[in-house]
Structure 1
Amino acid sequence: MNTPIRRLAVVVMLMFTALLLSTTWIQFVQAEDLRDLPGNRRTLIETYSRDRGAILVDGTAVARSERTDDELGWIRRYDQASRYAHLTGYFSFTYGAGPGLERAANAVLAGTDDSLFYQRVSDLFTGTPPSGASLELTIDPAVQAAAQEALGGRRGAAVALDPRTGAILAMVSSPSYDPNGLSSHQLAAVDRTFAELDEDPDRPLVNRAIGGDLYPPGSTYKLVVAAAALESGDYDPDSELEGGRTYTLPGSSTSLPNFGGAACDPEDRPTLAESVRISCNTSFAWLAGELGADALREQSEEFGFGQELAVPMPVTPSSYPESPDPAQVALTGIGQHEVRVTPLQVAMISAAIANGGSVMTPYVVQTVRDSDLEVIDETDPRELSRAVSPATAEALRDMMVSVVESGSGTAAALPGMSVAGKTGTAEYGTQGAAHGWFTGFAPADDPRIAVAVVVESATDDWSGETGGVVAAPIARAMFEAGAQR
């Protein structure tokens, strides 16, 4: 009789032990994962029960929380919505924090970040409702507006940096969208809005300035090639290059022409400076072959290619191809083949040249303030890398000034101000479509703003819209708005 009872007791003890272990596992090991499940309505409601921090541009909230009478407690509002959508992102009950600062700085905005621990303790003792911290951005509203208005709804992107600090003065991706449609508490309408945006072939939810399908840089990459040539010590601005009407790619019978089929020099021997000014394809293809893939990759990396950056939104690294053959190396010399960049990266190239060769780490959050407006974090400018020497930067600046004064970038010129720039027209796909680029800085002798603009091809077949035609005027508008900062 005692044996069956002992066996039953052992079974009951094992069952209690299993129950205790499973409960402990759920409460302490799986708790965070279960809490963060997308369908956990209780957690979502708890998240919405607090005053989320504002996102500020020049002291004005472009994202803020507003109290509601429904069970969610608060709703996120976005002013000047489409102008700042790719910076703010969205905060949706259905879809959570969308790409932008709402996601990248979610813990700070929600008030759960470790930096806000003492505020949470104080709120607990005083009975103050929990709230998030506010973000003050580096964005210059005038430059942001100029970029968006000048793009005019065309697909593309524009970025502006303060070359001295790396502060992002503008970040525009076009087309944009209205985050208010995703933060609404009309959940059926939110679903419809998200489906429309997600299925839109123009991809308005993608921030083209820092991610998405990266762009071939076209002739803006010639700045990197010229930098590598000058840094090698084998070339100076007056060095003569091979630059006929066409250039036969090594190991092939394919001829690379200059734009419009024109010669770069009567003697087919343009200098490096002249090749930059008129954007000579044949001389840069030849020069890339002389320098080699390793030198170009190294120079690219010194400008920031391959870096895992966060501004704090994650930035897709730009890239130079791993193992190009000689013909492909020549094509990389004009920013083609598999060279891929973000507009932010191209702006960083110009900013480094403007800053004497020093690449500053880009950032968009200047300060973080708690609910009492006390500064709890502030971004200090930090050098990312030394791309080129001051002497090389000065030589490149002079070449870029000539591009705007009398070369391919005259549409970016401003009266009474020296502007430095470089145009680019980047082919992509198989049907001859081409994106228009412009990058540069102003004033050239005391740089305050460095920009990069890309305008995507309007058609599958290129219609003559060069970077100098479509992108340079947008950069000019940005320079005009920001060069006197």
Structure 2
Amino acid sequence: MNKPIRLIAIFLMLLFAALMINATYLQYYASGRYNDDARNRRVVDAEFSRQRGAILVGRDPVAESVKSKDLYKFQRTYPKPQLYAGVTGYFAYGGAVTGVEKSQNNVLSGDDSRLFVNRLIDLLGSKGPEGGDVELTIDAKAQKAAYDGLTSLPGKVKGAVVALEPSTGKILAMVTTPTFDPNKVATHDFSANQKAYDKLNADPGKPLLNRAVQMSLPPGSTFKVVTAAAAISSGKYDASSMVPGGATYQLPQTSGPSGLVDNEGRDCGVKTVKFTQAMENSCNTVFAQLAVEVGADAMQKQAEAFGFNSDYDSWDDLQGTNGKSTLTTSNFPTQMNPPQTGQSGFGQYEVRATPLQMAMVAAGIANQGTVMKPYLINEVQSADSDTVATTQPKKLSQAVTPETAKEVTKLMVATVNDGTASPAAITGIQVAGKTGTAQSGQDNVPPYAWFVSFAPADNAKVAVAVMIESADIPRDDIAGGKWGGPIAKSVMEAVLNP
């Protein structure tokens, strides 16, 4: 072979080698990255055209794919949009996915490894690939009771309700207001889709925000449940004890009105007061003194045992892609000085909690001190409704001993029977509860109303947290018991009387 032909042959061989290397790189090493790239319209179109699995509450779909007469073959629909939007989120074109639609995308799209056999059958059969179904832990009646309770409040309501099954951690209700209609975002009319999203995103009420898990606010006096648990755990008190009382209390290392704690006229004794009376009347002076006595470190340890300052990345059923949680961390401040510790005792200073977190506090006391890991996904099912996986309850922490939980329960029962939490009382059933009205710290922002409860008190089936961020309620009339108590009561009744 002469030299020019040999050079051309070598050059062509190099070209073929380069093509083979490039093809191998694109089809093997880089395929996943290109498939996941939001700019890859073929992949997006294929996913949007697939028969996606349903999100179920019991046997009823709250998100499903129905046949459509357009390019994409299936339209994602939400039969009860306002009621479940905060949980389901939405599945829209171009990778716009939120809520359970996002956290369970692999199952719903059929790509989950647990659905491999089903994918293989679909491939060999005549029908196209189908996604698996996801059954939620939500109790339909409890969800509706929570939604009806919040939306019946006057004006444009911002708030949330979370209900848990204390013994397992199942989320029985999760409602957030204001809510939205995910059908308008999921529509195949992409012009209308974008307009709907832009309007929701610009809404000052933030309807796309799930306030149940994505907003933390001062929990106010509902946090006194944690302070009471810390005080009893110290070994110095039980529910029948006398505790430090008084009409006012000057925080340590302070002087003047800025460091003065009062009870807004409630009867909290002179020097001491019964522990039950202190909880019934929600005495700030008592719980500030108890927190200072317990100390900052013990208060932090107790709060964290209930879930404050937690990293949710490993257990969020609403988590986003790449394992990143969408949940907001509930904060209990560290390295507090004595006056800050006193303020934390009644849920102020820099204490911040989500409704989910305060539901966990109530559920932990209800479950003999054991906090269970909250979860929203009950079952993963194939497209043929065969069970593929069932979530098993997991213990998150032992927040307090069963003996301490029993004593705190006595305090909370007294608060429903004879105190500020009486609006949650249910005839024939012993209810444990605690109210909270938390100052926002801003002159133009009204206080937040909170309520936590569980029932039956001696063998709880449901624990509830209600948070009312704002409603058309006069500032002087805002109270957790008056407005949150009836909502918690209706949710508990929905679970106890199915």
Identify the TM-score tier after normalising by the shorter chain. over 0.9
1:329 maps to amino acid: T
Indicate the residue corresponding to 2:283 in structure 1.
280
Cα deviation, residue 425, structure 1: 0.8
**Aligned residue in 1 for 2:450:** 437
**Does 2:122 align with 1:128?**
no
Match of 1:258 in 2: 262
Worse-superposed segment, 442-451 or 30-39: 30-39
Residues 299 and 12 of structure 1, relative CA distance in 2, 3 Å threshold: same
Q: Deviations over 1:398-431 (max 9, x none)?
A: 1101111111111111222211100011111321
Q: Does 1:361 align with 2:373?
A: yes
Q: Judging changes above 3 Å, is the alpha-carbon distance between structure 1 residues 3 and 163 closer, same or farther for their aligned structure 2 residues?
A: same
Residue 340 and residue 5 in structure 1: after superposition, are their counterparts in 2 closer, same or farther (change >3 A)?
farther
What CA distance in whole angstroms lies between the structure 2 residues aligned with 1:300 and 1:484? 32
Give distance in 2, aligned partners of 1:426 and 1:118. Answer: 53
- Structure 1 residues 39-48 or 457-466, which shifts more? 457-466
* Contact 2:248-2:263 at 8 Å conserved across structures: no
Calculate the aligned-residue CA RMSD, in Å.
Answer: 2.2
Alignment pair present for 1:30 and 2:30 = yes
2:157/2:472 contact within 8 Å kept: no
User: For residue 272 of structure 2, what is the aligned residue in structure 1?
Assistant: 269
Query: Which range is displaced more, 354-363 or 104-113?
Result: 354-363
Q: Deviations over 1:90-132 (max 9, x none)?
A: 010145322x110000000000001111111122222332101
What SS is found at the alignment partner of 2:430? Answer: coil
For residues 271 and 497 of structure 2, what CA distance do their matches in structure 1 show?
41
CA contact (8 A) 1:369 1:377 kept: yes
**After the TM superposition, which of the residue ranges 66-75 and 178-187 deviates more from structure 2?**
66-75
- 1:75 partner SS: strand
- Give the TM-score taking structure 1 as reference length: 0.94
Q: C-alpha displacement at 1:372, in angstroms?
A: 1.9
Q: Does the aligned pair in 2 maintain the 1:256–1:282 contact within 8 Å?
A: no
Q: Which residue of 2 aligns with 1:480?
A: 493
Q: Does the CA-based 8 Å contact 1:433-1:460 persist in structure 2?
A: no
Tell me the SS of whatever aligns to 1:270. strand
Q: 1:249 to 1:459 in 2, by over 3 A?
A: farther
Q: Give matches, 1:290-439, under 5 Å.
A: 290-309=293-312, 310-314=315-319, 315-431=327-443, 433-439=446-452
What do the CA deviations read for 1:262-289 (whole angstroms, capped 9, x no partner)? 4411x23123332222111011111111
Render the CA deviation track for 1:33-62: whole Å, top value 9, x for unaligned. 222222322111110222111111121111
What is the distance in 1 between the residues matched to 2:475 and 2:87?
31
Contact 1:51 1:131 in 2 (8 A): yes
Q: 1:95 to 1:194 in 2, by over 3 A?
A: farther
Distance 1:193 1:202 in 2: 15
Q: Counterpart in 2 of 1:102?
A: 101
1:197 to partner: Cα distance: 0.5
Question: Contact 1:433–1:459 at 8 Å: present in 2 too?
Answer: no
> Does the alignment pair 1:469 with 2:482?
yes
Report the counterpart of residue 175 of structure 2 in structure 1.
Answer: 172
Most deviating of 124-133 and 186-195: 124-133
Of 237-246 and 349-358, more deviation after overlay is shown by 237-246
Measured in 1, the distance between the counterparts of 2:260 and 2:490 equals 34
Residue 139 of structure 1: aligned partner: 138
Are the aligned partners of 1:448 and 1:484 in contact in 2 as well (CA < 8 Å)?
no
Give 2:463's match in structure 1, choosing from 447, 450, 453: 450
Most deviating of 115-124 and 79-88 = 115-124
Question: C-alpha offsets along residues 347-386 of structure 1, whole Å, 9 cap, x if unaligned?
Answer: 1111111111111111121111102221100112222111
Give the CA deviation at 1:397. 0.9
Offset of 1:134 from its aligned partner?
Answer: 0.8
SS at match of 2:232: helix
Deviates more, 1:171-180 or 1:270-279: 270-279
Following TM superposition, by how much is the alpha carbon of 1:9 offset from its aligned partner in structure 2, in angstroms? Answer: 7.5
SS at match of 2:477: coil
Contact 1:424–1:437 (Cα < 8 Å) also in 2: yes
SS at match of 1:469: helix
2:171 corresponds to which letter in structure 1?
Answer: I
Structure 2 vs 1, CA of residues 420 and 460 (structure 1 numbering), >3 Å: closer, same or farther? closer
Contact kept, 8 Å, 1:308 with 1:316, in 2: the verdict is: no
Answer yes or no: is the 8 Å Cα contact 2:266–2:281 preserved in 1: no
Using the alignment, how far apart are the partners of 1:9 and 1:245 within structure 2? 98
Which has the higher mean CA deviation after the structures are superposed, 159-168 or 172-181?
A: 159-168
Q: Which runs of 5+ in 1 are unaligned?
A: none
Shift of 1:391: 1.0
Q: Read off the aligned partner of 2:175 and give its amino acid letter.
A: V
Residues 59-78 of structure 1 aligned to structure 2 (within 5 Å): 59-78=59-78
Worse-matched range after superposition: 470-479 or 239-248: 239-248
What is the SS of the residue equivalent to 2:244?
Answer: coil
Alignment of 1:192-211 (within 5 A): 192-211=195-214
Q: Give unpaired runs (5+ residues) of structure 2.
A: 320-326
Deviation of 1:30 (Å): 2.5
Q: C-alpha distance in 2, partners of 1:26/1:321?
A: 50
State the alpha-carbon separation in 1 of the partners of residues 422 and 292 from structure 2. Answer: 29
Q: SS where residue 308 of structure 1 aligns?
A: coil
Measured in 2, the distance between the counterparts of 1:114 and 1:166 equals: 26
- Cα deviation for residue 14 of structure 1 reads 6.0
